[in-house]
Structure 1
């Protein structure tokens, strides 16, 4: 792991590195600044993200470009109904001397793009989710440690839901962010078309390496947080629970289920990282607010009344904020 003389020096390096990263990634991925910020935040927080967007919005290009800029190995796994756990983790096979050898699967990379994770049955989903949680793979009773940093970006298509296996709430909870990827603006789409129909396509250059990422991940954990910021984050999560003491009317009226303690933890860790990326050494309440929507979006469950009246999850979170 790369070492710095002090945490202040490390924080300055992270701030500068982040600005160089966004500039470099922006050469290839046009007009997705907030999505790039959230993906990088989850990497620096040692967490995983769920990316929800219609096909053709450059999800694969986005994550491949980020892995190039971070100098990390990259694997893309296309999830299908017939995908088996061994197709992800790897399997034991006989070599020419009739000995069993383990052939590593695509999970053994630093950045994994799990494309359309809801297209595969729960058994295969859980194989990936165990690796996400434990950072290890178990095959035939043997444990294999995954390389750090290890980051999973799982995608879901919000339109076509036939023949899908929706992730249970307990598994959704393992993703720090639920990132919504929207259509580009008219101006950005003009730029995209110009950039992608030329003979030579832009590619991202390496900006930081694996050792620096591990140092920044450790730094984020050491950032001090004022008590009032922790209390704000915890109170916000408590406000999402319909049966809780802090539940306002909108929660009691429109929510069946609220966020668990992991949401409070992620709010603070992401707020720490958000402060560092803005050049500050400690998070404020505004940092919690800026990461709240992607953290809470997949952790609160609307009731039938909310769906019937067209009240979105984002509108409820906005009201709670």
Structure 2
């Protein structure tokens, strides 16, 4: 890795099962295939506006969301398809939403960057840089009274915005039950993070005496265990925590970005640490899952995406002037 040192991945805790591990892999694969499908549909003119894909970062969202409970809430970013699917948002409904269809989770009116699904704990995906931090901090203020933990996903570039410093300071002063997850994919849009960020990102919350950890964001088990500890602390009333996941996006910032600014060999090096490759190895080495079981998951996910596209393209567009009610 060419960011900064991540702590070693812990071994799975007693009680973790092969079934749990296989489901985490399935969720990551679903996100990857979903994003590949969206990219293909976009190139065919079926997805309008812009798209910011989560390909390569799947272990971060899946690891974090795997330890959350029904009363918890999550705020995602404009790269939020992965956050939504990791939470269990209906893949068909999400695909339909991106296609602008009435059967989408927001009635076809949110598009790629602004999905909300309160039924699945997603309080929003935010196109405003730092919006997720403010939303999760506000949610934590409410959850402190009624129970639950809020999680904010955001990128490394967000840590240079006022939202970051103000919200983390407020959360620490009030001991709010919130976990701040910085997905450091090495770039703020097209700019290397180290070119615009002084020092180490983790040092900033540490200066506020917020418990902080930097981990391998491509290892779903490292993310899962670090987040479990942070969430448990929030539930105890210990206040906020900060988790930096070191990861990498395999695609450009958005639809118009070919990624020509990458350093020579950088993408190839990170592809060797593809979260799906690491997860498959973990399934075999830690849990003894047979290759046939993994292949069956691969086939099932591919078939699921093919059926989803057919249904999505056949779904109706919204009726002008009629807005579907959101489920609370």
TM-score (norm 1): 0.33
**Rg (Cα) greater in structure:** 1
TM-score (norm 2): 0.33
